[in-house]
Amino acid sequence: MRAAIVALLVSWASIARADIALTEGLAQTIAEGRFAEAYTLAGDLVVAHGDDPDVRYYASVACLRTARFAEAEQHITAGLAQHADNADLLGLRAQILLSKGDEAGATAAADQALGFDPQAVDAVTARDELAIGAEARARRAGADPGLPAGSAAAFVDEVIAGISAGDSPSQIAEAFDLEILASTPPPDRTPAGLVKGIETALREARAMRDKTDQQLYGWVVAPDATPSGDRVIVDALVPIESTITPRQRAAIGAAAADPQLRGTVDPGILALVDGVPEEEREALLDRMVGIRTRSVLDLHFEVAGAAGDYRITDLAIGAVSLKDQLGNFSKVIDKVDPPRARWRITPEMIGTVAGVVVGIIILVVLGTRRRR
């Protein structure tokens, strides 16, 4: 009898180890970006081990990464029905609710998760994004950001605030150095050329606002700049919420296929299609249309000069540099007509590229407030 019990316990222990290995395999598949494979694996694991909270958690993540948002919520609900105190499931619920714009629900879920585990990663992230959103809205409403007077951070904040107040293209151009137009031919590398480019950027930003359901709450500028040679990098955060439209679907598909277009798409959204085999990408893009997403964009301003004479020499969204993107644009044009193309690059063309990349800031002003 004792031998039978021992054998049974050994059998259960083996099964438990196998379950852990399978769950870790699912987590690793997700970490490696093989999301379609992870979704299939998750489905099999849920059938066999649907009562395991880790399986439900990673199954939900796999669904999110393949734009199956309703299924993701179903896994969270099923997991919490059996494990109401699971901080990971509650934290992921907070993230999902936040992406849908339900800040009250996200706050409640995050607080509940952090009550069980103060270091629950998804809950901490949701809480931080909620705080950034609140601070960004307050700044847009005129709250004092408390940045050091005369600092590069205060300069960047003033530039964004000026855009928010409706500064003209000429006023906005004063904050930028002509270095940002390094890829344009010398005749257009002038203050007038920069103004023309900004005029086009504003026009593109307005078009983006009119054709997409997009909301930006404001901005948050970090108080400490990071040295970079004879420049400093000032970071700013911009919370953004948007619905993916058919037009954006096409843009995401193009950016996924062409590295030179990656800077034209929200990195958080583009991450959904990264690593997806081309034959599966179209179905994924179709599922993305109509999905409302929320993310925080990282903006990095390269600033030269000193107090009273600061100038923006480059701007990056995530890892995408505006100056580099303009250079890529020049290379593309060169391939079309190598002998003369470089000299046909106009400020308006530059403004079109800048409008897509920089438009995210302009939309802090131009984006209309929408209620869900």
Q: What is the mean pLDDT of residues 12-39?
A: 71
Torsion angle of C-alpha atoms 125, 129, 132, 133, degrees rounded to 10:
-170
Instruction: Tell me the helices (H) and strands (E) count for the chain, helix number first.
Output: 15, 7
In the CATH hierarchy, which fold is given to the domain comprising 2-137? 1.25.40
Higher pLDDT, 30 or 207: 30
Query: 93 in helix, strand or coil?
Result: helix
Contact 162, 188 (CB under 8 A): no
| Res 303: pLDDT | 96
In this structure, of 48-52, 149-153, 171-175, 208-212, the range with the lowest mean pLDDT score is 208-212
In this structure, of 24-28, 160-164, 212-216, 276-280, the range with the lowest mean pLDDT score is 212-216
Contacts of range 315-320, beta carbons closer than 8 Å, 24 or more positions apart: 315/180, 315/357, 315/358, 315/361, 317/263, 317/267, 317/357, 317/360, 318/267, 319/267, 320/262, 320/263, 320/267, 320/357
- The per-residue pLDDT for range 299-328, each reduced to its tens digit, is 899 999 998 899 999 888 777 777 776 666
> How do the domains of the chain map onto residue ranges?
2-137, 149-244+291-366
Q: What is the mean pLDDT of residues 107-136?
A: 95
Higher pLDDT, 261 or 355: 261
| Res 214: pLDDT | 65
| Res 21: pLDDT | 72
- The per-residue pLDDT for range 229-238, each reduced to its tens digit, is 899 999 999 8
Residue 286 to residues 16, 60, 196, 247, 253, Cα–Cα distance (Å):
38, 19, 37, 12, 10
Q: What is the mean pLDDT of residues 130-151?
A: 94
Q: What is the enclosing helix (H) or strand (E) of 161?
A: helix 152-164
Mean residue pLDDT across the chain: 79
| Res 158: pLDDT | 95
| Res 362: pLDDT | 39
Q: Which two tokens stand for residue 13?
A: 């222990």
Q: How many CB atoms sit inside 10 A of residue 54's CB?
A: 21
Q: Which two tokens stand for residue 31?
A: 């970490």
- The per-residue pLDDT for range 63-90, each reduced to its tens digit, is 888 888 889 999 999 999 999 999 999 9
| Res 157: pLDDT | 96
Higher pLDDT, 141 or 335: 141
In the CATH hierarchy, which fold is given to the domain comprising 149-244+291-366? Nuclear Transport Factor 2; Chain: A, (3.10.450)
Residue 202 to residues 63, 209, 360, Cα–Cα distance (Å):
37, 11, 10
Query: What CA–CA distance (Å, rounded) separates 327 from 267?
Result: 20
Q: Does the structure show a pLDDT above 90 at 277?
A: no
Among all chains, which residue has been given the structure tokens 């179209």?
A: 282
Q: Which of 242, 209, 237 is nearest to 223 (CA)?
A: 237
- The per-residue pLDDT for range 191-226, each reduced to its tens digit, is 888 888 788 777 777 776 665 566 778 999 999 999
CA atoms within 13 A of residue 316's CA, in its CB half-sphere: 11
Contact 284, 330 (CB under 8 A): no
- How confident is residue 339, by pLDDT bands cut at 50, 70 and 90? low
Query: What CA–CA distance (Å, rounded) separates 332 from 254?
Result: 15
Q: Which of 311, 314, 348 is nearest to 182 (CA)?
A: 314
- How confident is residue 267, by pLDDT bands cut at 50, 70 and 90? low
